[in-house]
Structure formats: C-alpha cells, structure tokens
Structure 1
C-alpha cells in the first residue's frame, strides 16, 4: 500500500518537475541569448567607432600628433532669379570673389585657426559690402561633416540678362545692391569603402593614400536660406519688362536632402594624390514667399535635385604637405512662375608640415 502511494505521488510530481526544469532551461537560454546579443551590439558599436580601421596596403596613418598650415581661400557664389510665365526671363547675380588668408593648427583631423579678408586689409571693401563666411569640415575614415554659414554683402553685379528688352546687350554688367542672402547648414556623409579609400588623405592630410581606390558615399544635408530681393533697385530698362512672377521681395526656405554618390582617389605617382567626388541629392524644400502687395504670400513644398562636389590635389610625404581643394554646393528651387538657383564654392590653396611624432613611431634608444 505504501509503495503504491509513493508511486502515485511520483507520477503526480513528474509533470511539475518537468515543467520547472523546462522553465529553468528557458531562463538560462534566454539569459545566454540576451548576453550574446548585448555583446554583439557592443562589438558592433565599437567597430563602427573605430576610425583607425583601414587597410595599410592602401592607406598609411599619420605618424605625427600635430600640424601647422598656411592657407588661402577664395569664395565664389552666384544667384539666378527667373520665371517661365508668361515668357522665360532670368537674372544672374554674382559678387566679386572673396579672398582670405590664414594660419591653422591641427590635431589629427581637426584644424582650427584664423583668417582675414585680403580686400578688407587693402581697404578695397567697405564694411557695408563685407560678407561673413564660416566653413568647417571634419573628415574621418568613415564619417565626415561640413558645417557652413554665409551672409553676403551688397557688392553684386548683374550678369546674363535673358528675356528682357532688346536694348540689353549679351555682355551686360551692372552693379546691384538690392540682394542680401543668409544661409546656414550642415552636410553629413558616410564612406562605405573606408578601409581602402581615405577622404582625410585628400582634404585634411591626416592620412596618406598609397594606392588608388574609390568608394560609394551616402549623406544627409539640411540648410536654411533667407533671401531679400529689392527689385525696385534694378535698372529701369529691366524693371519695365519684368514679369510679375519675378517680383518677389523675400524668400525663406528649408532644404532637406538625402544624397548618394561616388568618390575616387587617384595616386598618380609617389606621394601625389588627385581626388574627385560628386553627390547628387534629392532635396525636399519647404518655403515661404513674400510677393508684392498686389499678390498673396504663399507656402510651397516641392522636390528638386541638388549637387555636392569635392575636388582635391595634394602632395604629402608624411612630414610636409601642399595642395589645393575645391568644395562646391548647388541649390535649385523651381516653381512654375518662379525659380531660384544658387551655388557657392571654396577654393583652398595650402602648405604645411606635421610635427611631434606619435609615441609608437618614435625610435627607441
């Protein structure tokens, strides 16, 4: 009788013990899985943040801690205002190029320094006509960022006048102080083939490209544009045949874009590098346009194609470097009765040297 009771008790407890064992095994399995996932996620983050992960067959690292560089900048820009209704018309405005010279101190891939407008030093430009430009570019092996701010002066000239009076000649040029522009923005981008291709080798001299290589590039850009246009200051020969669609007093728009392109570094001889990259961008624009008193102000939203261009040529023997680079951006804004195109670029010519060897490259006594 006692044996039978014990046997029945064992049968009753077996499913409970089995379920308890299954729960314990499940907890252990989930804990191990969660631990592996956390370790995998942490490993992926560390790998992503490892900016020294490159193939030394293609890229050699910078052996020095610091750099000093003398620099000359020339800034270019243009603005075109136009319409297709009732007939195509366009006005193009360009200021004289702005020239700056400066000295910069670098640590790894960050350069900080000071520059001065050469025209202002020579007394060729009044305070009223001076603009303000700020450009900061940071390049690492995987990620890069361009930050810019630009406020123009009043030293524009009218060029390329089309669709107006026949009295206006094709080489027409006239001073115009009725245009003021303020823009600011940021470009972010990611280098896919970062183990073989180096943006810093072409644009910040913090690494050396030893073999030619290219890479796909993806990026994100956001900018704001604020333009005041006093068309009443235009010459009478232009105003008298000017379409109502071009009589815009104030335009403010935000530009958000995703871009995808390709870059290539060509090592054409020892220590010499030429670089070219082009990123077309699909841009979403939302804008507020203030027209003349007779017309209603409007909000617009639309998509356009913009472009980001980078070109560079550099000599770098690890100790000394010299070269030139150009960074250009274009922004296009179209409506059926109004269009605005603007672009600006910076040409940089520089020379410098690296100094203070890193500890791992110093000769041991």
Structure 2
C-alpha cells in the first residue's frame, strides 16, 4: 500500500501533456559540466551624500563528470584553479548547490562559505573626483557564510517543463509558460573588518559602513512567471523571474552600537535562464540560477547576489522498455 501511494504521488508530480512535453525515453545519462560560481556585495550608506562600495571575489570555475539515473545526477567536480595550481587563496572556498526539478514542484539547496580572494570592484561617493582607484590586493577582512533552501510550485505543469530546461529529463516540444509560486529560507552572515581597506578609502569612509558583522535570516514568499520558448527543432530557451517579498530577522553590529534583533520587509529576486539542445539522446546547453537579496537598516543598505552558471554536454542511454520498439 505504501509503495502504491508513493508511485501515485510520483505520477502526479510528473504528470505531463505529451502534445507539449515529451518524456525522457532513457534510464541512464552521463554528463560533463563546467560550473562557475559568481557573487557580489554592494554596501551603501543611507545619507545625504551616500557612499557605496562593491566587493566581489574572482569567479570560481569547476569541471565535473556526472552519472544520472532517471532524475538523479551524482558526480564529482574539481576546482580548475586547484587542478592548474593557480589558486593562491589562503582560505579555501566551500560551495554546494543542488537543484531538483519535477513537472509540478522543485527546489534548490545551497551553501557558500568564502575564501580570501575578495576585491574592491568599484566605489561611489567616497572620492570627490568620482574616480575609483584600482586595487589588486585581496581584502582579508571580508568573509561570508550563506545557506538556504528554496521550493516552488508550477501551476501549468502539464504543458510547461522546468526539467526540459534545467535537468534534461524531458523535452519541451511546443512553447509554453506558467505562473510559479514558492517560498525560501536562508541564513546570511557577512563579516567586514573595514580596517583592512586601503588607506585612501578608510580615511574617507562613512561611519555607517564601519560595521563588524551583518547576521540575518531571510523568510520570503515569491510569485513569478516562467516561459519555455521552442525556437527551433530540439532547441529550447527559458527565462524565469520570481520576485519575492521577504521578512528579515536580523542583528547588525557596528563599532558604536549593537542593535537588537528587529524585523524588516524587503524585496528579493530569483532568476533562472537557460538554453539547451536536446534530441532525446544527446544534449548540450547552458543555464544561470541567480539569487538576489536586499537588506536595510536606518543608515545602511546591503544588496548581495550569487548564482551559478553551468555549461554542460552529455548523452542518454539504455532506452526504457516501452520505447525500445519505437
């Protein structure tokens, strides 16, 4: 009875309209993938003459091989800088991301702990002439720790397929779109030792940007729209935007005061884009999944984004019994 109930649930969440979506005809898959992690942090003061500093690390590049069974992919990846001996960071990064896609529901789990290769990318409002000095030195006093989970529901799941765009476990044969809704929870810890900044910036830095740590939890509800465009035979392009209303429970520490936990409402955004060629047996494509968060206090504003760019190629093999004679 339990097995029958599980099979029924599995059938329901993967139910499709075959005139729009073609199911995967194979049991196994093998894929090679290059994944690139990108992120940035924009720190701003809310003053009459606001200052802004944008900080970002070097993009990280990984190469991996994966073996798939039905909708599960397992594998291993290696940082290309480690492979080539070009990673000079004193602190190693820890990155983990997992995205699950079915016809009706899906979600993301992610974890990110920084290394030591953050750099100042731009400034505004600090220097009178508007110029931003270029600094190649890493900022040892900046570090982050982020973890979270995101889940969503696809309303038009019979005609619109997220898996066709992001997990290659089905094929979209006719263009279709769907409204999506979901929720997410994440924890953010951002440490900033402003004394490690270059002297020209430190001399002019606003007191609002002289904080030690931002530590907040983000609870959000999102609602958006996703569209699969079949622009040629076996070709698919997807874009998905899901703005979110977020409730933040947080603590903000500065040199002068330690503010108690408070509540605030901000806007976040989850963005997905992808393009893929899939003729059922062979597939190749690229995708982007990006999370953007806003955080505000009376005198301080933080905007941070992070995401993964994937470029992949692979093949399916071992046809399922019901498709072997077709």
Q: TM-score, normalised by structure 2?
A: 0.94
1:308 aligns with 2:260: no
1:94 aligns with 2:62: no
Tell me which of 281, 291, 315 is aligned to 1:353: 315
Deviation at 1:52, TM superposition (A): 3.4
Q: Distance in 2 between matches of 1:49 and 1:222?
A: 28
Give the alignment of 1:248-263 within 5 angstroms. 248-263=211-226
Largest Rg, 1 or 2: 1
Give the alignment of 1:65-76 within 5 angstroms. 65-76=27-38
Per-residue CA deviations over 1:313-348 (Å, capped at 9, x if unaligned) read 000010110011111110110122011111011110
**Residue 29 of structure 1 aligns with which residue?**
none
**Residue 30 of structure 1 aligns with which residue?**
none
Give the alignment of 1:1-365 within 5 angstroms. 46=8, 50-85=12-47, 87-126=49-88, 128-166=90-128, 169-170=131-132, 172-175=134-137, 176-292=139-255, 294-363=256-325
Q: Relative contact order: is structure 1 or structure 2 higher (C-alpha 8 Å, sep ≥ 6)?
A: 2
Give the number of the structure whose residues are more often helix, by fraction. Answer: 1
Moved more, 83-92 or 69-78: 83-92
Q: Distance in 2 between matches of 1:227 and 1:267?
A: 41
Q: Is the 8 A contact 1:149 1:183 kept in 2?
A: yes
Deviation at 1:105, TM superposition (A): 0.9
Q: Any idea what SS the aligned residue of 1:50 has?
A: helix
Moved more, 166-175 or 135-144: 166-175
Moved more, 279-288 or 354-363: 354-363
Aligned residue pairs, count: 321
Superposed CA RMSD in Å reads 1.9
Q: TM-score, normalised by structure 1?
A: 0.84
Please list every run of at least 4 consecutive aligned residues from structure 1 whose deviation after the TM superposition is greater than 3 angstroms: 45-49, 170-174
Q: Is the 8 A contact 2:89 2:116 kept in 1?
A: no
Give the number of the structure whose residues are more often strand, by fraction. Answer: 2
Per-residue CA deviations over 1:214-245 (Å, capped at 9, x if unaligned) read 00000110000011101010111111121111
Unaligned runs of 5+ in 2: none
Unaligned runs of 5+ in 1: 1-41
Q: Distance in 1 between matches of 2:48 and 2:275?
A: 46
Q: Is the 8 A contact 1:85 1:243 kept in 2?
A: no
